[in-house]
């Protein structure tokens, strides 16, 4: 049986994330066995996104899936528990799984990706991450706005997230956002994962952080 872990505490600045029961349980595995194909299709929509950094990659199911498709896909996750799940259930590309920001390869990533992560972080933590990774041109984030869920400490409206990213030097890419939200609904017409509402693309400007 897949080991179950649930977020208890987070600090995303190279300090381990702690999990407890039921976070990466059987339901998570079942859901992402389906969603890996959906997210993979969205990434492949833009040919320039051939070197991807998945921030908060969890057990790294996307690492194996995307590298097998020929995309250079690295994951960053500070949890030792999540890494053990990766090694036990996936683990085909261990050199692409990183547990410290300082361990990332010196490569020109074309896309920063974070799914269901930013709502668990404080603004100053997010800013520090983007200062460290300021040369990545595009950002794809899925940000839940669900309140009263454990760990959801940063709830903003669409407008406030757009302003927040602009302050960090990233403009809301409405064209790509609408394109990928529409593609998601083509694949998942019921929109059960809410990616047609919570998915955003931001693109780098020349503004200095």
Res 21: pLDDT: 45
Residue from 30, 43, 97, 100 nearest 71 by CA? 43
pTM: 0.88
CA distance 65 to 72: 11
Res 10: pLDDT: 46
- HSE-up of residue 39 (Cα within 13 Å, Cβ side): 26
* CATH tag for 34-204 (out of 2.160.20.10, 1.10.150.120, 3.40.50.150, 3.50.50.60): 3.40.50.150
> What is the four-CA torsion angle of 80, 136, 178, 116, rounded to 10 degrees?
20
CA distance 156 to 139: 17
Boundaries of every domain in the chain: 34-204
Phi-psi region of 64 (alpha: psi -120 to 50; beta: other; left: phi over 0): alpha
Res 169: pLDDT: 95
Question: Three-state SS for 195?
Answer: helix
Per-residue pLDDT of the chain (209 residues; tens, 9 = 90+): 344 334 434 444 554 555 544 567 788 888 899 999 999 999 999 999 999 999 999 999 999 999 999 999 999 999 888 899 999 899 999 999 999 999 999 889 999 999 999 999 999 999 999 999 989 999 999 999 888 787 899 999 999 999 999 999 999 999 999 999 999 999 999 999 999 999 999 999 754 33
């Amino acid at each position: 049986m897949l080991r179950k872990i649930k977020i208890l505490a987070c600090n995303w600045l190279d300090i381990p994330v702690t999990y407890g029961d039921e976070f990466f349980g059987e339901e998570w595995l079942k859901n992402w066995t389906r969603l890996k194909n959906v997210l993979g299709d969205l990434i492949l929509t833009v040919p320039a996104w051939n070197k991807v950094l998945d921030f908060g990659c969890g057990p790294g199911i996307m690492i194996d899936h995307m590298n097998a498709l020929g995309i250079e896909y690295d994951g960053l996750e500070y949890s030792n528990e999540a890494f053990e799940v990766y090694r036990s259930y996936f683990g085909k590309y261990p050199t692409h799984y990183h547990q410290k920001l300082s361990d990332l390869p010196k490569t020109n990533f074309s896309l920063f990706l974070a799914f269901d992560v930013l709502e668990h972080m404080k603004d100053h933590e997010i800013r520090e991450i983007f200062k460290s990774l300021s040369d990545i041109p595009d950002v794809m984030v899925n940000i839940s706005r669900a309140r009263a869920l454990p760990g959801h400490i940063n709830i903003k409206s669409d407008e406030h997230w757009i302003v927040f990213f602009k302050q960090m030097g990233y403009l809301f890419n409405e064209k790509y956002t609408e394109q990928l939200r529409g593609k998601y609904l083509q694949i998942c017409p019921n929109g059960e994962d809410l990616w047609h509402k919570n998915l955003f693309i931001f693109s780098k400007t020349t503004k200095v952080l």
